[in-house]
Structure 1
Amino acid sequence: MNAPIIDPLQGDFPEVIEEYLEHGIMKCISFNRRGTLLAAGCSDGSCVVWDFETRGIAKELRDKDCVAAITSVCWSKNGHQILVSAADKSLCLWDVVKGEKIFRTTVHQTPLQARLHPGGGSSESTLCLVCPFSSAPMIVDLRNETTTMLPISLSDKGSGLAPPSRNKFSDGAAHFTPTAACFNKYGDLVYVGNSVGEILIINHKDNRVRGVVPISGNAVIKTIVFSRDGRYLLTNSSDRTIRIYDNLLPLKDSLKALDEIHEPTNEVETLKAVGLKCLSLFREFQDSITRVHWKAPCFSGDGEWVVGGSASKGEHKIYIWDRAGHLVKILEGPKEALMDLAWHPVHPIVVSVSLAGLVYIWAKDYTENWSAFAPDFKELEENEEYVEREDEFDLMPESEKVKESETNEDDEVDIITVEKDSAFSDSDISQDELCFLPADPCPDVPEQDKHAGSTSKLGDSKNSDSPLSEETAVDGRAMNHDSNQIEGNLCSILALQFHRLRFSRRLENSGAEDTAGVTHLKRRRKPSEKVLELQQAQKVRKPLQKAKAAASSGKSSKTKTKFGIEQEHDMNHFADENGIDD
């Protein structure tokens, strides 16, 4: 599809399922920063990296120590590392190109979500924010294997914070609602949404709450996420409402801007006053008719659209709003629950994960509209006969020719420098960014190996990529023995059928009945003596009539030989004996 002939008034949001990806049972997905690679965590503990341009598997990261389901995947800013959290309480940082583990650690609670620090510096490349199942969010340093618990509420005395102790949650005695948290654009602040309807703005370096933003209704915050440009914050609450906040702090040096804000005397009121200067409610999204719960809401790549999946069981619906709050599209997929959702960083493409483990790719259904770009262009509903003008193809004089472009053909063309993408404001930071993985072609199999493989056991067939290939390989000998036995039985059955066919034909020719008495063949009746005499007379009459006809013509009397006279005498004698009239 050519981009210049696409109508710009159609809206840049997906409409139909373009394709689906299948590899095991996938649970969660994440795009890299450029949208060229898609990582998917599977239920068997592996992480699959898809080349999103070719829709092919570029890399498979499998940890032999992890067999539990993957709960989240997160790319580093330069795309060289992937952070994977699993249900066995493990965190693993992978080198994508080499396919090797860099760091692996375990936490005291099952991590529902893990996010790498977006700064990408050398001292911050191993920091990650983990949201466990039943404890407060934590900052984990994968290199030093240290854990820092973040505060999730203000203290009753109003002293500012209530950072939970590590031992309090290590045994799992305290029960908490899963708490959502995320870094801001440059990672100097952490925004935590707690179970009492508050957004805490925390400096994770000194573990202090710097601002509080209360949410109307005091509902539990289930999801909190920033847009790619860092200008908007999205929250998903248990009151079935998605809220969008304006980020009033500068994108860079947000912590320094917090220090410059004037603070009142009261501690609690101070934090709330600072919070009002950090976030401002912009819009609320909800379905007032069906009142559905939302799952995995997020922004589009440019922040112009808000998308959220329905959390209802048995349906795969995706709602798309514009930032002004208007519902523009409802995407209805198969009758499978939605597990995860992601919007492509650059293109109007949404990728969703179903309960069955399939990844559906939703894209726009483009229609060509040439007249939208050329007002004098006329679109025809059907073919029309065109009558050319008399001078339409005449050669124009030299004076009326269009002047050729003054392009110096000797100038060198730069094919090395890559232009910066306008969709990325800080693209100059990641010069060594990983956008594509090198191809790893499979070597050709020699012809001898092909023939040897075709006669080998069933487990080594070309269907070895199927889920049953491992079991087939283990039971290869038994299956080979069974196949030989089946082959021998088949030959016996064919031989028995052949003998039955010959026996039935023999019975049919002889006019006998079937020995089983089930089917009766038609019996041939023996002709009587009178019928046999008539048939014999008919055979004699025809040559006799021909001979008499030849004799009457006068030709045969002249050329009759001794053999002919004897034959005629025999025929007459046979006719007289049988009483046949000439």
Structure 2
Amino acid sequence: MNAPIIDPLQGDFPEVIEEYLEHGVMKCIAFNRRGTLLAAGCSDGGCIIWDFETRGIAMELRDRECAAAITSVCWSKLGHRILVSAADKSLTLWDVVNGEKIKRITLQQTALQARLHPGSSTPFICLACPLSSAPMIVDLNTGCTTVLPVSVSDMGTGVAPPSRNKFSDVSPPFSPTAACFNKYGDLVYVGNSKGEILIIDHNNIGVRALVPISGGAVIKNIVFSRNGQYLLTNSNDRTIRIYENLLPLKDGLQILDDLNKTVDELDGVEKLKAIGSKCLALFREFQDSITKMHWKAPCFSGDGEWVISGSASKGEHKIYIWDRAGHLVKILEGPKEALIDLAWHPVHPIVVSVSLTGLVYIWAKDYTENWSAFAPDFKELEENEEYVEREDEFDLILETEKVKESDVNEDDEVDIVTVEKDSAFSDSDMSQEELCFLPAVPCPDVHEQQDKCLGSSSKLVDSNHSGSPLSEEGGQNGQAMNHESSPGEEDTGGTRMKRKRKPSEKGLELQAEKVRRPLKMKTSGKLSKMKSKSVVDQDTSICVFADDVSDEYR
């Protein structure tokens, strides 16, 4: 599908389930930057890479040390590496091209989400969000971890605050915290359990700005759009909020330093809030005012024009799509299976969802054929109509009335090397080193040799069949049809092998006597030529090839 020719009147969002992918029990998914490869983490610890163009498996990454379910997968910027987090507290970095494991480390807690640094082509730095501790920066080369602060009071300690849940006797001491890198990875945005967004310099481990969220609910998800201009948060108050990023995509730390100097009159939390008001601005809020449902796996479309989220209700596979203005434009209803993960294709209006049963559903547009879009003079008919041709419709057109051909200078050089930037990508910094496809290794075909009679469905029976006429024949006939065996074996009724060798001349004569009548034909009184055909004796169920019969019958 070509993005430039998409009909804008039909909308750029999916509508129906096109097909589904099945391989084990898949739990989480992620597209590479161009949308040509889809990675899926499975419950048995494996990671499957699908070629999204052909819907075939291009690579399977499997670690013998890991048999736990995969919790998240993340591609590097150029697609050469994949970071996989598993329920056994491990983080594994893979080389996609060779299918080899680069690094594997084990954390103190299970990472619900892990993201590679987006500013490096071969990253070893990642951001991990554990189940019951603060987010941390992990160096996969050395195994060192640096815990990030989750509140202003933890700026110097980096220790997570205790949970303020009133059911603290049965709840874990810490609520899971969401975090993500910005577009180029110089800042980390952390959403905490107090309903605050912290902007952190992860190199110096310091909170540079704070943005409070109305309601103060726990932030469950925090996601940037691909172009880095918008930030999405999903809170426990069942509301999805979109913030506009006021900082530049690059050199954000320098701007924060400048903002810090302009608010010297303030101090402490008020100073951080003043800086945060110049970093993020609330743009839209999305919620279902009727059902008040919780949301799961919200994200942006590839161009940032659409916002998508799944229903967190059990037994429902519903996907809600809003435009950036805040209007609900579509509700996609899938099978009666809970939804656990979502991803929007980076280029095309395609959504991929994962169900609780482990299937991956591909949602695409239901395109309507519009032939008049390709030929303006083409007329579409609802029903058949009788066509009456014009009188001059097939007259020859004079040369002078022909449309003049466009003047084309055939001497101009045509550039077939330079790759134009695709406007469909929000980040069009295409690199020649980027991995878009994996080489396919064909599997050799297995040839099965079967002995069959052409033109007949009859099969050779075992020679130990008690009712066989040949078993009653004896002598040379019995020896011709039986496999080489002793008479003792014949008496005891042992198992015989099926006939595989060519009958003897005497056997053919006896068989010809049996098939004498079927071979008589009214063609000048002689046996007609029957090449590569078979004649079946109805009495003995034996295949006799007519080419082997040399006698003539009248």
- TM-score, structure 2 normalization: 0.76
* Rounded Cα–Cα distance in structure 2 between residues aligned with 1:201 and 1:423: 30
Preserved CA contact (<8 Å) 1:6 1:366? no
Partner of 2:382: 381
After TM superposition, the structure 1 = structure 2 runs for residues 15-164 of structure 1, keeping only pairs within 5 Å, are: 15-121=15-121, 125-155=123-153, 161-164=156-159
One-letter identity of the residue aligned with 1:29: I
Of 404-413 and 94-103, deviating more is: 404-413
- Residue 274 of structure 2: SS of its match in structure 1? helix
* Rounded Cα–Cα distance in structure 1 between residues aligned with 2:114 and 2:287: 27
* Rounded Cα–Cα distance in structure 1 between residues aligned with 2:351 and 2:21: 13
* Rounded Cα–Cα distance in structure 1 between residues aligned with 2:117 and 2:332: 33
For residue 5 of structure 1, report the CA deviation from its aligned partner.
7.4
- Residue 269 of structure 1: SS of its match in structure 2? helix
For residue 376 of structure 1, report the CA deviation from its aligned partner.
5.5
Partner of 1:474: none
* Rounded Cα–Cα distance in structure 1 between residues aligned with 2:2 and 2:314: 39
- Residue 114 of structure 1: SS of its match in structure 2? strand
For residue 388 of structure 1, report the CA deviation from its aligned partner.
2.2
| Structure 2: runs of 5 or more not aligned | 162-170, 452-461, 468-554
Preserved CA contact (<8 Å) 1:135 1:174? no
- Residue 271 of structure 2: SS of its match in structure 1? helix
Of 227-236 and 417-426, deviating more is: 417-426
- Residue 256 of structure 2: SS of its match in structure 1? helix
Partner of 1:211: 209
Q: 1:377 to 1:242 in 2, by over 3 A?
A: same
Preserved CA contact (<8 Å) 1:7 1:368? no
After TM superposition, the structure 1 = structure 2 runs for residues 138-537 of structure 1, keeping only pairs within 5 Å, are: 138-155=136-153, 161-164=156-159, 175-261=173-259, 262-263=262-263, 264-371=265-372, 377-409=378-410, 411=412, 413-424=414-425, 426-428=427-429, 430-445=431-446
For residue 423 of structure 1, report the CA deviation from its aligned partner.
2.9
Q: 1:415 to 1:444 in 2, by over 3 A?
A: farther
1:304-332 per-position Cα deviation (integer Å, ceiling 9, x unaligned): 11000000101110000111111111111
1:43-76 per-position Cα deviation (integer Å, ceiling 9, x unaligned): 0000000000000000000000000000000000
- Flag the structure with larger Rg: 1
* Rounded Cα–Cα distance in structure 1 between residues aligned with 2:4 and 2:83: 39
1:475-523 per-position Cα deviation (integer Å, ceiling 9, x unaligned): xxxxxxxxxxxxxxxx9xx999xxxxxxxxxxxxxxxxxxxxxxxxxxx
Of 418-427 and 434-443, deviating more is: 418-427
- Residue 260 of structure 1: SS of its match in structure 2? helix
For residue 445 of structure 1, report the CA deviation from its aligned partner.
3.1
One-letter identity of the residue aligned with 2:72: S
One-letter identity of the residue aligned with 1:35: G
Q: Does 1:12 align with 2:12?
A: yes
* Rounded Cα–Cα distance in structure 1 between residues aligned with 2:388 and 2:241: 61
Preserved CA contact (<8 Å) 1:5 1:370? no
For residue 411 of structure 1, report the CA deviation from its aligned partner.
4.8
For residue 290 of structure 1, report the CA deviation from its aligned partner.
0.6
1:504-549 per-position Cα deviation (integer Å, ceiling 9, x unaligned): xxxxxxxxxxxxxxxxxxxxxxxxxxxxxxxxxxxxxxxxxxxxxx
Q: 1:2 to 1:305 in 2, by over 3 A?
A: closer
For residue 371 of structure 1, report the CA deviation from its aligned partner.
4.5
1:352-410 per-position Cα deviation (integer Å, ceiling 9, x unaligned): 00000000000010112345676665322112222222222222222222112222445
Of 260-269 and 337-346, deviating more is: 260-269
Preserved CA contact (<8 Å) 2:302 2:426? no
Preserved CA contact (<8 Å) 2:78 2:121? no
For residue 255 of structure 1, report the CA deviation from its aligned partner.
1.1
* Rounded Cα–Cα distance in structure 2 between residues aligned with 1:3 and 1:398: 39
One-letter identity of the residue aligned with 1:302: D
* Rounded Cα–Cα distance in structure 2 between residues aligned with 1:361 and 1:137: 32
Preserved CA contact (<8 Å) 2:228 2:249? yes
Preserved CA contact (<8 Å) 1:18 1:363? yes
* Rounded Cα–Cα distance in structure 1 between residues aligned with 2:306 and 2:67: 37
One-letter identity of the residue aligned with 1:238: N
Q: 1:66 to 1:6 in 2, by over 3 A?
A: closer
For residue 154 of structure 1, report the CA deviation from its aligned partner.
1.3
Of 304-313 and 416-425, deviating more is: 416-425
One-letter identity of the residue aligned with 1:249: L
Q: CA RMSD in A?
A: 2.4
Preserved CA contact (<8 Å) 1:6 1:369? no
* Rounded Cα–Cα distance in structure 2 between residues aligned with 1:324 and 1:111: 34
Preserved CA contact (<8 Å) 2:125 2:140? yes
* Rounded Cα–Cα distance in structure 1 between residues aligned with 2:47 and 2:113: 15
| Structure 1: runs of 5 or more not aligned | 167-172, 453-490, 497-582
Preserved CA contact (<8 Å) 1:189 1:254? yes
* Rounded Cα–Cα distance in structure 2 between residues aligned with 1:342 and 1:305: 12
One-letter identity of the residue aligned with 2:88: D
* Rounded Cα–Cα distance in structure 1 between residues aligned with 2:381 and 2:85: 57
One-letter identity of the residue aligned with 2:275: V
* Rounded Cα–Cα distance in structure 1 between residues aligned with 2:201 and 2:217: 24
One-letter identity of the residue aligned with 2:244: D
One-letter identity of the residue aligned with 2:159: P
After TM superposition, the structure 1 = structure 2 runs for residues 539-550 of structure 1, keeping only pairs within 5 Å, are: none
- Residue 259 of structure 1: SS of its match in structure 2? helix
For residue 443 of structure 1, report the CA deviation from its aligned partner.
2.1
1:395-434 per-position Cα deviation (integer Å, ceiling 9, x unaligned): 2222222112222445554444332212335433632000
1:141-166 per-position Cα deviation (integer Å, ceiling 9, x unaligned): 1011110000000118xxx5541289
- Residue 273 of structure 1: SS of its match in structure 2? helix
* Rounded Cα–Cα distance in structure 1 between residues aligned with 2:83 and 2:450: 43
One-letter identity of the residue aligned with 1:34: R
One-letter identity of the residue aligned with 2:42: C
Preserved CA contact (<8 Å) 1:77 1:430? no
- TM-score, structure 1 normalization: 0.72
* Rounded Cα–Cα distance in structure 2 between residues aligned with 1:286 and 1:279: 20
